[in-house]
């Protein structure tokens, strides 16, 4: 086994404190990797976001009472107190981003500290979303996209509101027309006033929502109601069906029905 020696200062004991191995967690491989040579070369520890886990094993070169030695470490800038244990493994995890200094020292069985200490700077990098460049870009994105999204969202809400209003108006119109379908003399011109709309507004709304003129819409409702009456066997003759939906002439009713559904109403009635 190789030992790497660091000589910092001399006071009580000249026994060297050696690094045995250094392991660091890697996100790419999702496991601890031996990076001892990299540590000795760079003389610093750099941790990427999500890689805040490392193991550093050290040992005093005391071949007589080495088993009774103790080891202490602290992370200056994170914890200013020393942690001491007989185990010679320094395990660090969960450091927040920032710059720190790792200090390790050994204590002999007679209570003397080794004059040689291990010092390594530790840099825990910020996550990308906390870096200045990302924050600036995010702010610019919000400044540019935010108002655009607000305008788009408002337009969508207004559009939805108009659609809902159109649905309400259409259902109201259907209810009003349904009551008047049997009246052959009913005029579509009476509806705008009942809906609190102008005649031009009513025609425009009808065209936008149904794609039909008011008279075409009225005719469509009458034909649909006629088919429903026949399907439900509520009428026995074409005359009854025609009168029920505002058609006084059976021939005219039959002509419109066949044009709309491709089948004579008499055939439709006989099939039910």
119, 139: one domain: no
Rounded-to-integer distance, Cα 219 and Cα 242, Å? 12
> What pTM, to 2 d.p., does this model score?
0.45
Query: Which of 128, 146, 171 is the C-terminal boundary of a domain?
Result: 128
153, 227: one domain: yes
The number of distinct structural domains making up the chain is 2
Rounded-to-integer distance, Cα 71 and Cα 106, Å? 4
120, 187: one domain: no
Main-chain dihedrals φ then ψ at residue 261, nearest 5 degrees: -115, -5
DSSP 161: H
CATH number at residue 105: 2.60.40.10
Provide the residue range defining the domain that includes 251: 135-271
263, 161: one domain: yes
116, 215: one domain: no
Query: Which of 113, 128, 143 is the C-terminal boundary of a domain?
Result: 128
91, 176: one domain: no
CATH number at residue 196: 1.10.10.60
In this predicted structure, what is the pLDDT of residue 10?
Answer: 39
160 to each of 154, 157, 166, how far by Cα in Å?
10, 5, 10
Main-chain dihedrals φ then ψ at residue 19, nearest 5 degrees: -95, 125
213, 93: one domain: no
- pLDDT per residue of the chain (272 residues) written in tens, 0 to 9: 344 444 443 345 677 888 999 999 888 888 889 999 999 999 999 988 877 789 999 988 765 455 778 899 999 998 888 988 888 899 988 888 889 999 999 888 888 888 788 999 999 988 766 667 766 776 776 777 777 777 777 777 676 655 545 544 565 667 777 777 777 777 777 777 777 778 887 788 777 777 888 888 888 888 888 888 888 888 888 889 888 888 888 899 899 998 988 888 888 776 65
In this predicted structure, what is the pLDDT of residue 271?
Answer: 60
Query: Which of 97, 128, 159 is the C-terminal boundary of a domain?
Result: 128
Rounded-to-integer distance, Cα 103 and Cα 75, Å? 6
Rounded-to-integer distance, Cα 157 and Cα 195, Å? 24
31, 148: one domain: no
10, 62: one domain: yes
Number of neighbouring beta carbons within 10 Å of residue 63? 8
120, 139: one domain: no
264, 142: one domain: yes
216, 238: one domain: yes
Q: Which of 229, 232, 220, 233 is nearest to 261 (CA)?
A: 220
In this predicted structure, what is the pLDDT of residue 272?
Answer: 58
In this predicted structure, what is the pLDDT of residue 1?
Answer: 39
In the numeric block, which tokens belong to residue 94? 């969960």
């Amino acid at each position: 086994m190789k030992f790497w020696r660091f000589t910092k200062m001399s006071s009580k004991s000249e026994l060297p404190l050696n690094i045995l191995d250094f392991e660091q967690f890697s996100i790419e491989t999702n496991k601890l990797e031996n990076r001892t040579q990299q540590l000795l070369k760079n003389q610093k520890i750099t941790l990427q976001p999500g890689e805040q886990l490392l193991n550093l094993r050290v040992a005093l070169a005391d071949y007589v009472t080495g088993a009774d030695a103790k080891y202490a470490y602290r992370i200056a800038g994170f914890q200013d107190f020393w942690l001491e244990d007989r185990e010679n493994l320094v395990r660090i995890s969960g450091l927040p981003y920032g710059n720190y200094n790792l200090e390790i020292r050994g204590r002999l069985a007679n209570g003397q500290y080794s004059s040689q200490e291990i010092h390594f700077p530790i840099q825990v990098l910020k996550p990308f979303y906390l870096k200045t460049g990302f924050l600036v870009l995010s702010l610019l994105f919000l400044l540019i996209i935010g108002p655009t999204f607000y305008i788009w969202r408002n337009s969508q809400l207004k559009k939805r509101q108009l659609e809902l209003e159109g649905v309400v108006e259409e259902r109201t119109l259907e209810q009003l027309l349904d009551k008047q379908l049997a009246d052959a003399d009913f005029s579509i011109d009476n509806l705008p006033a009942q809906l609190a709309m102008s005649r031009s507004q009513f025609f425009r709304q009808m065209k936008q929502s149904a794609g039909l003129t008011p008279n075409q819409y009225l005719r469509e409702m009458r034909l649909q109601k006629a088919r429903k009456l026949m399907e439900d066997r509520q009428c026995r003759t074409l005359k009854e069906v025609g009168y029920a939906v505002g058609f006084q002439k059976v021939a005219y009713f039959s002509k419109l029905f066949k044009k709309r559904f491709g089948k004579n109403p008499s055939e439709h009635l006989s099939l039910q």
